[in-house]
Structures are given as structure tokens and as C-alpha cells.
Amino acid sequence: MTNYDEKTLVDIGLTREQSKIYLFLLENGLCNARVISTKTNLGRALCYKVLAQLVEKGIITKRDDVGKISMFFPVHPNRIKIILEEEKQTSDQANIVFNDSFGLLSSKFNLLSGKPNIQFLEGSDGLKEMYNDILAEGKDIKLIRSLLDHKDIDTASILRAHIEKQAKIGIKVKLIGPKREDVPMDVLIKKDKARNVTRKTIPDGFYIPAQIIIYGDKVSITDFKSGLIITIIENASVRETFEKMFDFMFDSIKDTY
């Protein structure tokens, strides 16, 4: 735990005591109130009060299934991001500072729990956030496309704007997708060249409801059929698995357009 981390959490709206306890649990994992009180130098009564506040906010969980004494465990830092969005009480600068620290806090949680970082985003704002994450990574991507991505006018507009930004910063794309009957081949080839896209066409009939994008150490899955729901999994092994499946498919497909 660092003073910088604590200050960051205070700046976004947690109290000093709430920040101290959350960061202690993030470093040490499952603990009871007595240990937390001793290690954080918070009085017992105050410690219980702050733990209750954090449980109510959903920033830590209380577990009564591991023994006779209640134990406490931190949730993923993504919960704090959600609270920020719900409360809308922090400055833009505080949000920027927290976003800068989010990756490190997430890494600590992942190391603590051994679980991949999983985010769930929804709607147009979620789609924009996912695409902004791709731009922030700045790495080449591998895409299994769903043609449902352009059925909605607003979604298609977001997608086109992202593709332009993506091409502008030099991100290359390997794409697997159904044959485009709506665009002449010469036009499609020209567009792909301008957008740094290498396309492989799947045989007729392969229409999928969700889109898969592999980028950095992440895999995003966007459900365009049931609603605009995005799941982002950040885990090197998961990404490697999807990437190997993608590469096998890509290399097996002969039809470029």
C-alpha cells in the first residue's frame, strides 16, 4: 500500500479510513476485524463502523462462511469505478487520476484472487469505452465480426468513428467475417487497405450474434443480438487461447474476399 494509492481513493470520494482498510485488504486478502483494526491502526469501534460502510457500498464483502468470526474481502476495483459513475460527485481530474491507478489496483486484486479481470459494459457508452480501451492499448487486433454490428444506426456510427481513429494511429486488423454482399468487392478492398485490414471470409451461413476482439491481454465479446452487452476478459491465458483458435481459423480460410 502506498500513500499515493490512499490519496487517489480519498480524492475520488472515499474517506481516509475507508481507503486505508480497502487497500489493506487488497494487499492481504481475507481478514477479520481484529486484524484489520490492529494492522491499520484504527480503533476497534471505528474499524467496525468503516467496515460496515464499505460493505454497504459494495466495496468489500463480509463472509460468514469461513469460520465463527466474520471475515472481510475486497471486491474488484471496477466496483469503485461503478460507484464513481453512479454518484457523479468527483471532479474530472480525480477520475483521470483514478483511471491511471486502476490498472495497478486491478493487478493487485488479480494477484490476490487468482481470477482474471472481467468487466461488463452496456449500451452505447459501454461500446465507446471498449473501443477507447482498444485505442489506449494501441496494439494490433484480431476480430471475428458479427454483421449485426451495423444494424443499429447509432451503433454503426460509433463503429465507423472508431475505425477511423484506429486506422489513424496505425492499428492493424486481422478480420474473420461473413461475405459482404452489400458492398462491391473493389470498394471493400479499397476500404480495407485504407483501414489496415486483412480480411478472411467465412463460408456462407456462418452468421454469429456476438463479435470477438482480441487485443493486448484482453478478449472482448460484444452481444449485438440480445442487446448491446460487452464482456471484457483480461487474462493472458484466456487471450492466448482465443488467439490460437483465431490463428487456426485464419490460416485455414483460403478465401480472402
Return residue ranges of the chain for CATH 3.30.870.10.
117-252
CB 63 within 8 A of CB 33: no
The residues near 105 (Cβ < 8 Å, ≥ 6 apart) are 5, 26, 77
pLDDT band for position 46 (cuts 50, 70, 90): very high
Mean pLDDT check: name the lowest of 3-17, 83-97, 193-207, 237-251: 83-97
Q: Which of 3.10.580.10, 3.30.70.260, 3.30.870.10, 3.40.50.300 would CATH assign to domain 117-252?
A: 3.30.870.10
pLDDT score recorded for residue 90 = 54
227: left (phi over 0), alpha (psi -120 to 50) or beta: left
pLDDT digits (tens, 9 = 90+) for 138-151: 999 999 999 888 87
pLDDT digits (tens, 9 = 90+) for 96-132: 656 666 777 777 777 776 666 677 788 888 899 899 8
pLDDT(222) > 90 = yes
pLDDT band for position 78 (cuts 50, 70, 90): confident
pLDDT band for position 21 (cuts 50, 70, 90): very high
Measure the CA–CA gap between 131 and 133, rounded to whole angstroms: 5
Nearest to 216 by CA among 194, 242, 198: 242
The residues near 137 (Cβ < 8 Å, ≥ 6 apart) are 215, 216, 218
Return residue ranges of the chain for CATH 1.10.10.10.
3-111
Print the SS3 string covering 139-179. Answer: CCEEEECCHHHHCCHHHHHHHHHHHHHHHHCCCCEEEEEEC
Chain length of the chain:
257
pLDDT score recorded for residue 202 = 86
DSSP, collapsed to helix, strand or coil, labels residue 253 as coil
Measure the CA–CA gap between 224 and 148, rounded to whole angstroms: 6
pLDDT score recorded for residue 8 = 79
**Better-predicted residue by pLDDT, 49 or 153:** 49
User: What class does CATH assign to 3-111?
Assistant: mainly alpha
CA distances from 62 to 18, 74, 174 (A): 15, 9, 45
pLDDT band for position 49 (cuts 50, 70, 90): very high
- Stretch 30-44: mean pLDDT: 92
